[in-house]
Each structure stands twice: as structure tokens, then as C-alpha cells.
Amino acid sequence: MKREKESQYYKLLRKLVSQLRCPICRTRYRSKDIEILAHHNEVWLINVHCTNCGAEGVIFAVVNEDERQFGELTPVEIRKFKRMPPISADEVLETYQFLQEFNGDLVELLGDQ
């Protein structure tokens, strides 16, 4: 089971890192540019090499299965939104149509929140 988990993390990290770009030349990393060097518990050490400009980098990634949420919502707000039904396709369409005709700024749109 542990090997299976490691394999899943390995694939996930390679996929995530392949979405990144070299900070020097902005070239996207390819699979062959990514080398997972090691990991200890939830910390993974990844080397990236840009084949376009030659820049090298090291990425420390933390893979944690903890379901804690990070963000601006309070625990009360999180519980409130979890109980709400999903947004329907009709609601999305109504909002889109409203915004197409709206001629104002964000402050006017949101009001005193």
C-alpha cells in the first residue's frame, strides 16, 4: 500500500511540476526536465532543468492528506456554504446575462459587503 501511495504522489507531483514554467525564460518544463530526487514523509525534493536556457531549480513540495482548508473563510462560513445547494446552470446563465447588461464598476455591483 505504501508503494502504491508513493507512486500516486510521484505521478501527481510530476504532473503538477510539468505545469510550471522556468522563471528565467518562461519555457514550460517537460517530463524529461523533472527529476524527483527524494522524499521523507510528506516532503518531496524535486529537481527541474530547463532544456531551453539551462537554468536549474529545486522544488520542495509538501504532500499532505489533511483536509484542513486554507483561505479567508471562517469555520462558520465553511459550514454554511457546505449546507448550500450547488449553483445551478440557470443561476450561472442569469448571472451571465445580468453582467452582460451591467454598466458599472465592482464597488457599485457588490455594494457594502
pLDDT tens digits for 8-46? 888 889 999 999 999 999 999 999 999 999 988 889 999
d(CA 1, CA 82): 32
pLDDT tens digits for 59-68? 999 887 666 6
d(CA 42, CA 76): 29
Locate the domains of the chain by residue range: 2-62, 75-110
Q: Give 91: exposed, middle or buried? Use CB within 10 Å, 0-12, 13-18, 19+.
A: exposed
